[in-house]
Amino acid sequence: MKILGISAYYHDSAAAVIENGEVLYAAQEERFSRIKNDASFPEQAIKYCLNESGFAIEDIDLIAFYDKPFLKFERLLETYYAFAPKGFKSFAMAMPLWLKEKLFIKQFIKKRIKELSVSKTNSIPINFPEHHLSHAASAFYTSPFSKCAFLTVDGVGEWTTTSYGIACGDTGIKVLGELHFPDSLGLFYSSFTYFLGFEVNSGEYKMMGLAPYGLANSERVKHFMNIIKEMLVDIKPDGSIKLNKDFFEYPVGLRMVNPKKWEKLFEIKQRLPEEKLEQIHADLALAAQKVLEEILIKLIQFVKQETGESFLCLAGGVALNCVANSVLFNQEVFEDIYVQPAAGDAGGALGAALAVSYIKKELRFNGLKKPFDVYLGPKYSNLDIERLLRKHKCQYQYFEIAEDLTKTTAKYIAEKKVVGWFNGRTEFGPRALGNRSILADATDPEMQYNLNMKIKFREGFRPFAPVVCEEDYDDYFELGKQSYYMLFTSKVKKSLRKNLPEDFQQYSLEEKRKFVKSDLPAVTHIDFSARVQVVKKDLNPRLWHLIQSYKKLSGVGILINTSFNVKDEPIVNSPEDAYLCFMKSGMDVLVLENYLIVK
């Protein structure tokens, strides 16, 4: 059975094609459209998945959309009615779009699919699994477990904001409980993202990166946490929450919160996007992060109690919070935790297709025997790259032997050059995992700042992730969850850390950033943590060999790995995208498959 999965119309639209339960291809629309978090119908992603798999649209047996539009519309109407007359402006703006397009998604999908059909006929049935079922399926059916508990946490699907249950390869996915809108842990976190001047649905990871600059155990952070728990969220023993609706406007408003109420509550002005970040902003971010973690700990303890399972799958946008994931793993409530690399709404396309596939085909799932292959997007031929190089009249080196390329690239990195690395298929999900990456020296104290300012054009406090071969992980990091997908953090080994001055916490955020914190200063965050990507040789052999080549030259088996893009742009997809990004940034070297260009 061939199934096309689709997610669209909220953010991060995507498409995926699977056959008999096996994931073939998947991609986000933003990679093709070049619109960050593109929510439009994923026409280009669908075309890619079909073309690459060799299927015509007529070959598809079933289409799966990642949520139920009528249930979502019901939630909107009931919410507006419950809060009336508040929210009329939001209601007036939302209804025309729903009545014109979103409410009739089934007909709209049929129309768009018909346009892709050679015969211009379309009788493909369309299924609508619930949003959180799609999330749960995306995690379980790509996991190493044949039976486990699952927990999905995000902003909101139709009504559900959190769900848990048991997933079993024999019997499928059984939901045991849900938390409903407007009580949402995802929207709780996004409200702080908004108040601190970051963009909702894309800036949450910035707030997560800012939080470690907060003064842990300080009176102000404790004070903020107390305010949050006393005034904003009532946390139950089982991890369920009740939000104080007097302080949140997202149910019916055009903004997350009323800034004036929050300013009075926390005695701090709302930060505007371009305003300077101060210590108090970091303290509030840390308080919100700590409360999030406290709630998640209660949730997984409850899920363990209710299910009795040994393993846990996490999905939903909140599962992209790698700091919280590590806190949960270190609680040792479950023997192991798996997070699907595209845990947000893009992964819903994959999950919808998997959910329907296992229901319709009655397949048995025994857990994947090797890590889920996240490299599911487009790849490009030498002919594509040569055409680009001729177009732009580039001087380049061509390497027939891959080992010669990795050795030469490693030499440039050892010389403190910044390399744009374009290889194989694009990654599915928000992380660049070595195929569309910017790579650099992790031992250079100035590299973190230079990458942020001259390459990425983004906030200077933002940390960078290290990439290390599986065999070398223990040389640099303390015992922790090793992640192939950058979804957990690890602490840098104590033997590699530097002593910070006793008055360290008295310095400004920018001054704190400048202190060298370890022998790997460019990838060591202020709390000695790092969001590590572990490379398995058979998952990404070329990246593995590059790191090993660099290690032979420098004695260090770690590189910086950050996404190949600049601020507010999607990760590059095509050779043209990579070349244009390379030319407008401060990168020194561009590797396009077997071609190397020096600026």
326-343, pLDDT tens digit by residue?
999 999 999 999 999 999
Residues 247 and 117 grouped into a single domain: no
Closest to 31 in 3D by CA, of 18, 15, 20: 15
In a domain, 282, yes or no: yes
What's the CA gap between 403 and 238, in Å, rounded?
54
Q: Which of 338, 371, 395 finishes a domain? A: 338
Residues 295 and 408 grouped into a single domain: no
E-assigned strands of 215-359?
233-235, 241-243, 311-315, 336-339
Residues 206 and 284 grouped into a single domain: yes
* pLDDT score recorded for residue 87: 63
- Asked if the model's pLDDT at residue 2 lies above 70, the reply is yes
Residues 403 and 326 grouped into a single domain: no
Q: What are phi and psi of 534, to 5 degrees?
A: -100, 130
Question: Mean pLDDT over residues 122-132, rounded?
Answer: 92
- CA–CA–CA angle 253, 108, 133 (5° rounding): 65
DSSP line for 323-344: HHHHHHHHTTSSSEEEE-TT-S
Query: Per the structure, how many domains does the chain have?
Result: 3
- Asked if the model's pLDDT at residue 90 lies above 90, the reply is no
What's the CA gap between 415 and 417, in Å, rounded?
6
Q: Are 285 and 207 in contact (CB under 8 A)?
A: yes
CB atoms within 10 A of CB 320: 26
Burial class for 545, CB neighbours closer than 10 Å (0-12, 13-18, 19+): buried
Residues 357 and 407 grouped into a single domain: no
* pLDDT score recorded for residue 200: 93
End-to-end CA distance of the chain: 48
DSSP line for 406-458: HHHHHHHHHTT--EEEE-SSPBSSSS--SSEEEEEESS-TTHHHHIIIIIS--
- Asked if the model's pLDDT at residue 120 lies above 70, the reply is no
Residues 288 and 431 grouped into a single domain: no
Q: Kindly state the tokens that stand for 258.
A: 């009323």
* pLDDT score recorded for residue 106: 87
* pLDDT score recorded for residue 259: 95
Task: Give me the domain span that covers residue 408.
Answer: 382-493+514-598
Residues 309 and 353 grouped into a single domain: no
Q: Which range has the worst mean pLDDT, 70-79, 251-260, 545-554?
A: 70-79
pLDDT tens profile 374-403: 999 999 999 999 999 999 999 999 999 999
**Tell me, what CATH number does 450's domain have?**
3.90.870.20
Residues 85 and 192 grouped into a single domain: no
In a domain, 168, yes or no: no
Q: Which of 361, 392, 410 finishes a domain? A: 361
Residues 326 and 357 grouped into a single domain: no
**Tell me, what CATH number does 203's domain have?**
3.30.420.40
Residues 457 and 575 grouped into a single domain: yes
Q: Are 131 and 295 in contact (CB under 8 A)?
A: no
Percent over 90 (pLDDT), the chain: 87
